Chains A and B, each alone.
Chain A
Amino acid sequence: MSVNEKTREIRRRTWRDIDLRAVAPFAALVLLLILGAIVNPNFIGITNLANVATRSAFIAIIAVGATFVISSGDLDLSVGSMVAFVASLMILFMNSGAIADPALMLTAAVLFTVIAGALCGLANGLITTVGRIEPFIATLGTMGIYRGLTTWLSQGGAITLREPELQEMYRPAYFGSILGMPVPIAVILAVTGIAAFVLYRTRYGRHVVAVGSNSDVARYSGIPVNRVRTIAFVIQGLCVAIAVLLYVPRLGSTSATTGILWELQAITAVVVGGTALKGGAGRVWGTICGAFILELVGNIMLLSNFISEYLIGAIQGAIIIIAMLVQRSLVRKS
């Protein structure tokens, strides 16, 4: 009897739990796929789709970090500049020739990059929490700082990976594949899986959502609000570092214009994915879906002949507005 009741309870929960807002981005993705298939039969091919997914990797991974920052009620505008800065540091480190053995050098460079990313995030976090500066302003400041430092490091030009041996060894990190899957896609899945686990299944994830939905309630519940927010920025920094690890082997070079406007694309992916910009609800898988949608739209425009690809920015801008309108109408219904 009681077992019966329990299963009934569980079953009821599964169908009543479906949140339209969580499903909406995936529905939009399916619609886009259908639209793409109509426009151009080559579109739906595995090669093309894998290509699109691979190219969405940078924004997708950065946006996963942004999901944490936004869920906790903050915002990070510096991620695009941070990519340029951390990537420049990584290449300069590898060019320094401090370690002779290429394999060892690569390992050290990866470690160095991860630490650099985490420190950049930590700086953002501390400025917002300890310095008590609005995250919008604080990260607007660091956005300028990271970008400026990159320009200075590159002296206005490009920073290029010089060691051919290192380059050869590092190449597969972007162009290779694992179990038939391009590495970037595998990395997206791994990062998202870990992020989803942290956000939905750990104490820290619960704290993030609590701080984002009402920081007073969180404080009165004994949650160290500032620490939770700072760690979210550090997670953002780590995600930027992972994106850099994929970015550097692709071109082997950075410049002052690397990652320009990526912060806006990342925020768009998060919002299109169903995370509320005012905090309190994070949807990691939705974020990935959002990043994929952005890339897919560009791809469809390239493959079709009726819209100029120069309009891509305008279309992406329209998407974020449409996504917000759809979300709001769903809120009203539920």
Chain B
Amino acid sequence: MDSEAVDAGAVVLSARRISKSFSGVQVLFSVNFDLRAGEIHALMGENGAGKSTLVKILSGFEQPTSGEIILDGNPVKLPPNGAAEALGIVIIHQELNLAEHLTVTESLFLGREVTRFGVLDRKYMRSEARRVLDLLGSHVDENAMISTLSIADKQMVEIAKAISRDARVVFMDEPTAVLSREETNFLFRQVRKLRDQGTSFVFVSHKLDEVMELTDRVTVLRDGQWIKTSPTSMLDGESIAQLMVGRELSKLYPAKREPNVDEEVVLSVNALSTGYVRDASFDVRKGEILGFSGMIGSGRTELMEAVAGLRSRASGEVFIKGEAVPSGDAHAANRCGLAYMTKDRKAKGLLLNSRMTANLTLQSLEKHGKFGYLSPASEASALERARRRFDIRVRDGNVVAGRMSGGNQQKLLLAKVMETEPEIIIIDEPTRGIDVGTKQQIYHFISALARDGRAIVVVSSEMPEVIGLCTRVAVMREGRIVGMLEGEEISEQEIMRYAAGLKKKAVA
């Protein structure tokens, strides 16, 4: 089935004909997968292809409905809830699992604290934590409180935690989603080093270039089925993408369309400052897609939240269609026709325990009845419309949002925001953690919205996305807008120059 033995590493962990159903819905169909000692194995597939489920089964967090797991040649039943760590199987979760009130050192040693004469040996643990963090090239202070760290640093702590546990098999679910390029490089270097010492890695990622760069073999899943396992060197990005989608990828980005210069300015931000953002000004015209690029932590989200009234401004003004919007009043901004779509769909976007309908209409309940009364029929038809318009694919219409795939969640979130019928839409990280096929769909939705005459601001850390979608790109650095690029200027190198502070120009 797989291309036979390219390297001679013995199989450490394998899945034989694994199937899995959740409340009657089958998500994995007799999948085979094997992991050799000392390899980095990429697990690829669109959202909903079953990658996360397979990872959870192989790390004991879920039990398979049928099929068996073989560890070192023996069939095993993995203990649940992370107890498989004792067998050397460690998972780095996509959602960060750190207690906010512990220090970095305490987190690293949580559950296996080192003691001397029954008393915590803090000094030893601190130095050990420092050693592991240095190995990863991380500057994180080992005494810092987890709650004070950025998302990227928390991710680093998670990785350090896994590495410090002498793991034999490490599952990494989208570990680089929130890391900068340098941090990613450090991580990869460390992963390769551990691989050479015999540790095996399963790498789940949507970033094709990283898969090509880092991994030894690739397994592709599609719709819960095993499609192919092959040495990475025998594939290229294009062919992996095709295996994942199962069809030729048409052009990822729709054609750009510049708005007329005399088109009405619908959103105007003037010298806006918050705690971190300083003196930001920009305009958006009807039908325009304006991009915001920059490093993580450059203040893009803070600026957009201030514009949307989700955070109060220290100074500066926001005008929507010429009308001044009061500071810190999300409701007023909404009423004027501005909607903000958060990048954090799980913590700030969707009620994960509620059904699609409750999520869809949450922001626009006044449309569904009079005097506060809600009409179930009106809500149901809104859901029907949204599912068709945004191609939300779920087998069971009553599923709770938390059970949906990332791509479908993102479409639902977009649909929810669009239910308010905004004229200006700020989309923060439109495609974080979703697969290529859904990405392409979302790009087309965004483009279609702009063609309809809506003004769109796209904040994204993925440069190709900003370059492919936007007719103008603002670059932020350390809380300021340092560049505004148009037309030919929009290129990865040019954006990088501004984002890294090599170049700076006065912004109109």
Contacts and interface: CB of A to CB of B under 8 A. Distances in A.
A joins B in a complex:
yes
Interface of A: 9, 13, 16-17, 201-204, 206-207, 209-210, 213-214, 216-224, 280-281, 334
Q: Nearest 7 A-B pairs (CB), nearest first? A: A221-B363, A203-B365, A202-B372, A216-B348, A220-B348, A203-B372, A222-B334
Interface in B336-361: 340, 342, 347-354, 358, 361
B374 interface: yes
A94 B398 CA distance: 53
Interface residues of B, number: 30
A202 B330 contact: no
Nearest to A207: B365
A204 B372 contact: yes
B380 to A, nearest CB: 10
Main secondary structure of the interface of A (DSSP, over half): helix
B397 interface: yes
A217 B349 contact: yes
Nearest to A197: B373
Nearest to B369: A203
Given A217-B349, A217-B351, A222-B330, A201 B362 contact: no
Contacts of B348: 214, 216-217, 219-220
Given A210-B362, A219-B310, A201 B374 contact: yes
11 contacts: A16-B398, A203-B365, A203-B366, A203-B373, A204-B372, A214-B351, A214-B352, A219-B348, A220-B340, A220-B348, A222-B334
B389 interface: no
Nearest to A13: B398
Q: Which of B350, B362, B373, B398 has the most CB of A within 10 A?
A: B362
A207 B361 CA distance: 11
A334 B361 CA distance: 26
B347 A216 contact: yes
A222 B416 CA distance: 12
Contacts of B363: 221-222
A220 B372 contact: no
A133 to B, nearest CB: 20
Contacts of A202: 372-374
B331 interface: yes
Contacts of B396: 16
A219 B330 contact: yes
B398 A17 contact: yes
Nearest to A213: B351
A58 B351 CA distance: 34
Q: Which of A17, A201, A222, A281 has the most CB of B within 10 A?
A: A222
Nearest to A16: B398
Contacts of B334: 222
Nearest to B371: A202
A12 to B, nearest CB: 9
Contacts of A209: 351, 354, 358
